[in-house]
Chain A
Amino acid sequence: MTDRYTPQVVDHLVRPRNAGEIPDPSGRGESGDAACGDIACFTVGISDNFLEEIRYKVYGCAACIAAGSALTELASGKHLIEAARISKVDIESALGGPLPAGKEHALTLVLDAMHKAFEDHWNRTAGEMLLEGGARPATGGKSVVAAMSGGVDSAVTALLLKEEGYEVVAVTFRLHDGERGSRSCCSPDTVLFARDTAHRMGLPHFTLNLKELFDRRVMQDFVGSYEAGRTPNPCVACNAHVKFHAAAFLADELGYHHVATGHYARVEEGPALARPVDESKDQTYVLWPVPRELLSRTIFPLGDYRKTEVRAIAEERGLAVAYTPESQDICFIPDGNYRGFVRKKVTAEPGDVVDREGQVLGRHAGVVDFTVGQRRGIGVSAPAPLYVTEVRPNSGQVVVGRKRDLEVREVAVKDLNWFLEPGEASSIQVRYNGGPVACTVEEGNEGELVAHLDEPVVGVAPGQSAVFYTEDGERVVGGGVVARRGS
């Protein structure tokens, strides 16, 4: 490390390549903000996935100006996949060696601005399609778009695929504004971290902005469910409408065949969704809504590994993500305060807490504060613990009862998505951490399926997912949303 700029930096400073702005660009990206001081702005002209033109502007130190200039030179004329592979190290090499200490942010800044221009291009290309979550049939060969969140699972996913000989493109989705440090180029940012991880593996990296889609399909549904007295599952909603569709969109645009995520599940011929090797990490329960045509092109490399093995692989290959903490909460509510989140979005009306017979036991501040099975915060004293057994948004009533009142033997399921013949369904799982219970199924009204459970289960609430498994319990037959339940 030296404190003096290389002659190459000075050359790029005095004779910046590709300076300026394309008047009618395919995409435009800006990085940096007033607090950092430095600002970079890139415009790109893209045709048939080739970067035909790239222009940049920078307000910032010599390192920023030179890094931007060198990056445009490296990227100009390249296929998007190759441009998206250009790393900080590549820029430094083009500048004749490492930048002086403290100047490394220049590399992050200009790369981020270029990638935001690519992101803008994808969003313009996708238009309504990405918004609607549409997808096209698969093409291509041994190639895969791998979703990369910045965590250990998705990083190892991409790594395993690369080592298996796939052409891998990594993609990170911008889903909401609650992401850590997402407003500043100088603070830790999950997108920047994911990009670094991809580039260290030599992989191209793209970002897609799915905030509008995610808001419409996941966050509004989350709030609406509470309002309607249903229990939402945002991960299911995301898998049903967002993540897989977006990955498939990018794959289609690049002519790639597969999509991959870091879920713990397996895809078998059919396609059939099967439980993973590591049962403790089984995510098949939240994957039931992935459309068949998308599942058929999906790879879940982690389905064949235990979580401990995945961490070991990350450590062995020196991935910085090996030590990232396990994410537990809903991604857009990092503090875990669901009620607080919902309360900010809706106004809650007070109402009665009643028992099964309709007798008023107390008052509550709003139905959005309650879900079926909840024990805490009911505010009514009773000799034995009380549970929420039903939420009635229309009358504003919260019904409470004993634990046995939560027992359910019959579940009506709607919005079904099948991988196998419905007749193969011989057990049902109604909670993420609950095991399957043997059942028999029959067709109900209006396309619903009614499952008769061999033994009662507790904590089944409308809005939750109900997932059917085969007789050996290994494969998902299909799934849907709990509409009603009976005892």
Chain B
Amino acid sequence: MMDPVYLDNAATTPLDRRVLESMLPHLGGARGNPSSLHSFGNDAREAIDGARASVAALIGASPEEIVFTSGGTESDALAVLGMARSAPLEKRHVVVSRVEHAAVREDAGHLKEEGFEVSWIGVDADGVVDLDEFTAALRPDTALAAAIWANNEVGTVEPVRELAEACAESEVPFHSDAVQAAGRVRIDVSETPVSTIALSGHKLYGPQGVGALYVRGGVSPEPTVFGGGQEKGLRSGTQNVAGIVGLGVAARLAREELDRRVAHERALRDRILAGIETIPDVQLNGHSERRLSNNVHLTVAGVEAESLVLFLDSLGYAVGSGSACSSGGHKASPVLLAMGRSDREAFSVVRITVGKDNTAEEVDGFLEAFSTAVARLRELSPLYAG
């Protein structure tokens, strides 16, 4: 049987061989703590600083504006919780889009419990945040606003620059989760006046368990972890040196290879979109143009997400589901509901995300498997009269 084909790069990417090699020296034998004064410590610190510069370069930032964390979720928490809590006491309002990653969404929910008022900003049917509604929601007492750079489910790229400019005009700190966007969309903090950006290693062909937060000079979120004062006091705890080194190399490669990767992904993505046109009652979710180069998100009428994912898995293709079924029944994705989809439509989705290492042959094989799986599950479905 052939090796399984991985088409779930929005969930995590394969570790690039070059990244792995850069990490290996830090995973075996003698090593230093970056906070130590001796030569071991100096070596570790220099490795981290090199990575810091590479990550900064990916988004046009200065190295001192990069804080290393354990990943995207922690970066989001440091930004959203940290900036809201560090705001003057009279600012008890936050503005958040309805299409955030769960990390930001749950952070905002947590702030609500702390007494903040939350304005949830709607999107259109393609998942694009309503700029007017967003702008109108900004108030003198707004402590923070947040909008995802590119949505992790449906792949829509948001008008982040306009949103950030609106915030800058109102002097409201603005956070954007760029975990999916980084390496696919050019990000330049000198053009886009964001306060903070969350990044993750393992969506960039880097290691899992490491991420970064860009914190613009002058912005000082309240830490969520306290201790030895590492990362300028914003993230205490001995750094994950190997992981950070890996993230640094991954960020450098992402910057160097961005155009090539995007062109490759887009070709594969469009090959999938062309291929599924022959299958009836399949609908693309998310914006057709303002869209991540690697993302295909589909509603497949009459087919439940989990069964489709597992059927494809059995045929050797790994894709993502947008819905989780549990004892209480399905939980529809808040993102799809915000886009005006029904519960039933939100239960019938699948996310295919290609990566730099996928090939046209793999995509063709996938299309065949997808066509088979959909047809078989529809035969079984009481909700599909084909």
Chain A interface (Cβ within 8 Å of chain B)? Answer: 5, 10, 13-14, 16, 19-20, 30, 34-41, 57-65, 102-105, 186
Tell me if B380 is interfacial: C-beta within 8 Å of chain A.
yes
Per a CB cutoff under 8 Å, which of B302, B307, B384 touches A61? B307
- Nearest Cβ distance between residue B318 and chain A, in whole angstroms? 14
Task: Please report the C-alpha to C-alpha distance between residue A30 and residue B381 in the assembled complex, in whole angstroms.
Answer: 12
Tell me if B311 is interfacial: C-beta within 8 Å of chain A.
yes
Per a CB cutoff under 8 Å, which of A14, A19, A37 touches B330? A37
Contact present for A19 and B329 (CB under 8 Å): no
Contact present for B311 and A13 (CB under 8 Å): yes
Given A37-B343, A58-B381, do A14 and B311 touch, yes or no (CB 8 Å)? yes
> Contact string, B197-215, partner A, CB cutoff 8 A, digits 1/0?
0000000000000000000
Contact present for B382 and A30 (CB under 8 Å): yes
Task: Please report the C-alpha to C-alpha distance between residue A57 and residue B378 in the assembled complex, in whole angstroms.
Answer: 9
10 residue pairs, one from A and one from B, having the closest CB atoms: A37-B330, A36-B329, A102-B326, A61-B325, A61-B306, A57-B382, A41-B382, A62-B310, A59-B383, A102-B327
Contact present for B310 and A10 (CB under 8 Å): yes
Task: Please report the C-alpha to C-alpha distance between residue A38 and residue B325 in the assembled complex, in whole angstroms.
Answer: 9
Q: Note all chain B residues with C-beta closer than 8 A to A5.
A: 310
- Nearest Cβ distance between residue A215 and chain B, in whole angstroms? 29
Tell me if B344 is interfacial: C-beta within 8 Å of chain A.
yes
- Nearest Cβ distance between residue B306 and chain A, in whole angstroms? 4
Per a CB cutoff under 8 Å, which of A16, A35, A103 touches B380? A16
Per a CB cutoff under 8 Å, which of B311, B325, B327, B380 touches A19? B380
- Nearest Cβ distance between residue B97 and chain A, in whole angstroms? 26
List residues 255-290 of chain B with CB under 8 A from any CB of chain A.
Answer: none
Q: Note all chain B residues with C-beta closer than 8 A to A35.
A: 329, 343
Interface centre among A57, A61, A102, A105 (most CB of B within 10 A): A61
Tell me if B328 is interfacial: C-beta within 8 Å of chain A.
yes
Contact present for A13 and B329 (CB under 8 Å): no
Task: Please report the C-alpha to C-alpha distance between residue A146 and residue B343 in the assembled complex, in whole angstroms.
Answer: 41
Per a CB cutoff under 8 Å, which of B304, B310, B315, B343 touches A59? B304
List residues 89-129 of chain B with CB under 8 A from any CB of chain A.
Answer: none
Closest to A33 in B: B329
Interface centre among A34, A59, A62, A64 (most CB of B within 10 A): A59
Tell me if B46 is interfacial: C-beta within 8 Å of chain A.
no
- Nearest Cβ distance between residue A3 and chain B, in whole angstroms? 11
List residues 317-337 of chain B with CB under 8 A from any CB of chain A.
Answer: 325-330
Q: Note all chain A residues with C-beta closer than 8 A to B315.
A: 14
Per a CB cutoff under 8 Å, which of A40, A57, A62, A104 touches B327? A104
Tell me if B379 is interfacial: C-beta within 8 Å of chain A.
yes
A-B contact pairs, 12 of them (CB 8 A): A13-B310, A20-B379, A37-B347, A58-B381, A59-B382, A62-B311, A64-B304, A65-B307, A102-B325, A103-B325, A103-B327, A104-B327
- Nearest Cβ distance between residue A103 and chain B, in whole angstroms? 8
Q: Note all chain A residues with C-beta closer than 8 A to B313.
A: 10
Contact present for A57 and B381 (CB under 8 Å): yes
- Nearest Cβ distance between residue B322 and chain A, in whole angstroms? 13
How many residues on B have C-beta within 8 angstroms of the other chain's C-beta atoms?
A: 27
Q: Note all chain A residues with C-beta closer than 8 A to B379.
A: 19-20
Contact present for A13 and B314 (CB under 8 Å): yes
Chain B interface (Cβ within 8 Å of chain A)? Answer: 302-304, 306-307, 310-311, 313-315, 325-330, 343-344, 347, 376-377, 379-384
Q: Note all chain B residues with C-beta closer than 8 A to A104.
A: 327
Task: Please report the C-alpha to C-alpha distance between residue A60 and residue B384 in the assembled complex, in whole angstroms.
Answer: 12
Contact present for A37 and B325 (CB under 8 Å): yes
Task: Please report the C-alpha to C-alpha distance between residue A65 and residue B307 in the assembled complex, in whole angstroms.
Answer: 8
Contact present for B380 and A58 (CB under 8 Å): yes
Per a CB cutoff under 8 Å, which of A30, A34, A39, A62 touches B307? A62
- Nearest Cβ distance between residue B325 and chain A, in whole angstroms? 4
Task: Please report the C-alpha to C-alpha distance between residue A102 and residue B330 in the assembled complex, in whole angstroms.
Answer: 11
Contact present for A37 and B380 (CB under 8 Å): no
Closest to B330 in A: A37
- Nearest Cβ distance between residue A353 and chain B, in whole angstroms? 53
Task: Please report the C-alpha to C-alpha distance between residue A13 and residue B312 in the assembled complex, in whole angstroms.
Answer: 11
Task: Please report the C-alpha to C-alpha distance between residue A39 and residue B307 in the assembled complex, in whole angstroms.
Answer: 13
Task: Please report the C-alpha to C-alpha distance between residue A37 and residue B345 in the assembled complex, in whole angstroms.
Answer: 10
Q: Note all chain A residues with C-beta closer than 8 A to B384.
A: 59
Task: Please report the C-alpha to C-alpha distance between residue A19 and residue B377 in the assembled complex, in whole angstroms.
Answer: 10
Task: Please report the C-alpha to C-alpha distance between residue A39 and residue B326 in the assembled complex, in whole angstroms.
Answer: 14
Q: Note all chain A residues with C-beta closer than 8 A to B380.
A: 16, 19-20, 57-58, 65
Contact present for B302 and A59 (CB under 8 Å): yes
Task: Please report the C-alpha to C-alpha distance between residue A5 and residue B313 in the assembled complex, in whole angstroms.
Answer: 12
Task: Please report the C-alpha to C-alpha distance between residue A16 and residue B314 in the assembled complex, in whole angstroms.
Answer: 13
Q: Note all chain A residues with C-beta closer than 8 A to B344.
A: 34, 37
Task: Please report the C-alpha to C-alpha distance between residue A34 and residue B347 in the assembled complex, in whole angstroms.
Answer: 10
Q: Note all chain B residues with C-beta closer than 8 A to A40.
A: 382
Task: Please report the C-alpha to C-alpha distance between residue A36 and residue B343 in the assembled complex, in whole angstroms.
Answer: 10
Per a CB cutoff under 8 Å, which of B304, B314, B376 touches A60? B304
Closest to B329 in A: A36
- Nearest Cβ distance between residue B249 and chain A, in whole angstroms? 33
- Nearest Cβ distance between residue A212 and chain B, in whole angstroms? 26
- Nearest Cβ distance between residue B182 and chain A, in whole angstroms? 30
Given A59-B381, A186-B328, do A38 and B311 touch, yes or no (CB 8 Å)? no
Contact present for B314 and A37 (CB under 8 Å): no
Task: Please report the C-alpha to C-alpha distance between residue A62 and residue B321 in the assembled complex, in whole angstroms.
Answer: 12
Task: Please report the C-alpha to C-alpha distance between residue A104 and residue B328 in the assembled complex, in whole angstroms.
Answer: 10
Contact present for B307 and A36 (CB under 8 Å): no
Q: Note all chain B residues with C-beta closer than 8 A to A64.
A: 304, 307
Task: Please report the C-alpha to C-alpha distance between residue A64 and residue B347 in the assembled complex, in whole angstroms.
Answer: 14
- Nearest Cβ distance between residue B375 and chain A, in whole angstroms? 12
- Nearest Cβ distance between residue B380 and chain A, in whole angstroms? 5
Per a CB cutoff under 8 Å, which of A39, A57, A58, A60 touches B325? A60
- Nearest Cβ distance between residue A186 and chain B, in whole angstroms? 5
Closest to A15 in B: B376
Task: Please report the C-alpha to C-alpha distance between residue A41 and residue B380 in the assembled complex, in whole angstroms.
Answer: 10
Task: Please report the C-alpha to C-alpha distance between residue A61 and residue B303 in the assembled complex, in whole angstroms.
Answer: 9
Q: Note all chain B residues with C-beta closer than 8 A to A63.
A: 325
Q: Note all chain B residues with C-beta closer than 8 A to A13.
A: 307, 310-311, 314
